[in-house]
């Protein structure tokens, strides 16, 4: 029983030491890749376009005409103008 426990502890200790050496090598000693040049074209960013973030209605994706008519309706509401489209 003691021999089995001693072997198990020795194996675990050896695995820990090997992993620690590999981690130290990968962090400190591995050759680094050259930095990428910034002169090339950049990848487009993910997410919605900035103009789409301002408009609360999802139908605004149909185009600028819808956005303009929606904006006119919103501006006309406080003044009580009816029939402005």
Where does the pLDDT of residue 4 fall: very low under 50, low under 70, confident under 90, or very high at 90 and above? very high
Picking from 49, 73, 47, the residue whose alpha carbon sits closest to that of residue 61 is 49
Q: What is the pLDDT of residues 14-64, one digit of tens each?
A: 999 999 999 999 888 887 777 766 665 566 566 656 555 565 555 555 666
Let me know how many helices (H) and strands (E) the chain has, helices first: 3, 0
Angle at 41 between CA 43 and CA 48, to 5 degrees: 35
- Residue linked to tokens 């992993």: 19
> Is the pTM of the predicted complex or chain greater than 0.85?
no
């Amino acid at each position: 029983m003691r021999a089995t426990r001693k072997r198990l502890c020795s194996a675990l200790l050896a695995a820990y030491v090997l992993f620690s050496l590999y981690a130290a090598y990968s962090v400190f000693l591995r050759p680094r890749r050259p930095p990428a040049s910034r002169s090339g074209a950049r990848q487009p960013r993910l997410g919605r376009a900035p103009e789409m973030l301002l408009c609360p209605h999802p139908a605004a994706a149909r185009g600028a005409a819808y956005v303009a008519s929606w904006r006119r309706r919103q501006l006309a509401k406080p003044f009580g103008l009816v029939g402005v489209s």
